Amino acid sequence: MRLIDGGVTASEGFFAAGISCGIKKNGKKDLAIVCSEDLAAAAGVFTTNIVKGHSLQVTMEHIKSGYATAIVINSGNANACVGEQGYRDAKEIAELTAPYLECMPENILVGSTGVIGVPLNMEVIKPAIEQLVSEMSPDGGHDALEAIMTTDTVPKEIAIEFNIQGKPVVIGGMAKGSGMIHPQMATLIGVITTDINISRGLLQKALSEVVSHTFNRVSIDGDTSVCDMVVILANGMADNPPIINEDKDYKRFKDAINYVCTELARMIAMDGEGATKFVEIIAEGAASEKDAYNIVSAVAKSPLVKTALFGEDANWGRILNAAGYSGASFNPEKVDIYLGNLLVCKNGAAVAFDEAKAKSILQQKNIVITLKLKEGKFSDRMWTCDLSYDYVKINGSYRT
């Protein structure tokens, strides 16, 4: 497995484009398409928020067939909570795009990200679709990525190549999202493309399992959005013997997609709104899987932990405190806490530690916090960032 250049168009038979059609007032790109030459097997993971964006609802319907040709995504507007018009608008985007790609509207997926509660400006989107399709190219992945970004400050894409029975296979992906990020869903918009030949069922299985411990282990602010999805298209053009069983080829594919999703998820946490630090929270030795998850989730969400990290303050009491209210069952008097490799709390109590060393660890851009519970064999980890003035600034004035 090796890293290669590019993102969603790195795989054989994928085209993409990203243009500015006028949804964003600042003139930045706001309309993207990612398209497969042939109809591709398609799978997706969607927000668990019971409020669901209209575009996302259309995609959930269309993907039920198991196949898709393309996905059209706009940024600058979530197309959510605007009533029936929102559903009709998303449908219309699919209907207007399909003829250009010579496919059925049901084979077009639709995504939207941005502000909630404002109707899509279809007057600028409708005439732009022809241009969008005409600009598609095998080098268009990066433009498409730019067109789905909102408060992201860094583009997030990756591509890898590996072999299945001697055939080179590529997986490429892009993701957006830096606020309103927390598990219980896909937590963002991610599009992954691959030329692998795999059954639709195994594609969904691999994606669901991988997302559960990659994208669903990122928390920026504990808010889960209504529009978030990860979609994968697999067009089979790598011409490998089709993967139809959970054999070693499936395992190789799953490892590869796990790598892609892990890297994209970490990029999301690193680019969290206002983030100055990337933080990995690890719980080891929990009595159950759920306990381990509850602990990393509570610590990653705690505003007190996150502001202390921003302030580079080794305030480990807040970490233990968050674990304590997480709902996990454990004996606080057995917990050890490490900042990096520095033990700061042993058996639930303070230990004398070198404050200068703690400070130097907390001054780094990448921080690992480990809680050792000594209760059992379960572990989990979550990626997050600190809570800074800029988070407040970005979100205090997002809509206006």
In the bound state with a second copy, the residue whose beta carbon lies nearer, of 157 and 221, is 221
List the interface residues with a second copy, window 271-310 (CB under 8 A).
301-304, 307-308, 310
Q: Which of 81, 122, 287, 368 binds a second copy (CB under 8 A)?
A: 81
| 125-164 positions binding a second copy, by CB under 8 A | none
Per CB under 8 A, the list member of 23, 108, 120, 180 interacting with a second copy is 180
Interface residue with a second copy, options 5, 64, 117, 364 (CB under 8 A): 117
**Minimum distance from residue 155 beta carbon to a second copy (Å):** 23
CB 310 within 8 A of CB 386: yes
Whose Cβ is closer to a second copy: residue 280's or residue 336's? 336
Among 26, 27, 50, 102, binds a second copy (CB under 8 A): 50
* Smallest gap from residue 255 Cβ to a second copy (A): 31
Backbone angles phi, psi at 234, to 5 degrees: -125, 110
Ranges within 307-366 binding a second copy (CB under 8 A):
307-308, 310-311, 313-318, 320-325, 329-330, 332, 345, 347-350
The reply on whether position 3 binds a second copy by CB under 8 A is no
Determine the interface stretch with a second copy among 8-16, 23-31, 32-40, 179-187 (rule: CB under 8 A): 179-187
Q: How far is the CB of 301 from a second copy (least distance, A)?
A: 7
The catalytic residues are: 187
Nearer to a second copy, 4 or 115 (CB): 115
Q: Which of 253, 164, 192 is nearest to 9 (CA)?
A: 192
Report the chain's C-alpha Rg in angstroms. Answer: 22
**Which amino acid, residue 371?**
L
Closest CB 349 distance from a second copy, rounded Å: 3
**Angle between helical axes of 289-301 and 316-324 (0-180°, round to 10):** 130
Assign 3-class secondary structure to the chain: CEEECCCCCCCCCEEEEEECCCCCCCCCCCEEEEEEEEEEEEEEEECCCCCCCHHHHHHHHHHHHCEEEEEEEEECECCCCCCHHHHHHHHHHHHHHHHHHCCCHHHEEEEEECCCCCCCCHHHHHHHHHHHHHCCECCCHHHHHHHHCCCCCCCEEEEEEEEECCEEEEEEEEEECCCCCCCCCCCCEEEEEECCCECHHHHHHHHHHHHHCCHHHECCCCCCCCCCEEEEEECCCCCCCCECCCCHHHHHHHHHHHHHHHHHHHHHHHCCCCCCCEEEEEEEEECCHHHHHHHHHHHHHCHHHHHHHHCCCCCHHHHHHHHHCCCCCCCHHHCEEEECCEEEEECCEECCCCHHHHHHHHCCCEEEEEEECCCCCEEEEEEEECCCHHHHHHHHCCCC
Q: Which window, 11-19, 30-38, 371-379, 389-397, contacts a second copy (CB under 8 A)? A: 389-397
- Please choose, out of 59-67, 75-83, 97-105, 190-198, the segment that lies near a second copy by the rule CB under 8 A: 75-83
Nearest approach in angstroms of CB 227 to a second copy is 10
**Candidate residues 98, 118, 343, 368; the one interacting with a second copy per rule CB under 8 A:** 118
Give the binding range for a second copy (CB under 8 A) out of 3-11, 142-150, 371-379, 386-394. Answer: 386-394
Kindly state the number of chain residues that form the binding site for a second copy, as judged by CB under 8 A. 68
Nearest approach in angstroms of CB 16 to a second copy is: 29
Selected range binding a second copy among 92-100, 115-123, 170-178, 375-383, rule: CB under 8 A: 115-123
Query: Taking CB under 8 A as the criterion, which residues in 204-243 touch a second copy?
Result: 221-226
Residues 6+ apart with CB under 8 A from 364: 277, 340
Positions that interact with a second copy (CB under 8 A): 48-52, 78, 80-83, 86, 115-119, 179-180, 182, 184-185, 221-226, 301-304, 307-308, 310-311, 313-318, 320-325, 329-330, 332, 345, 347-350, 387-389, 391-400
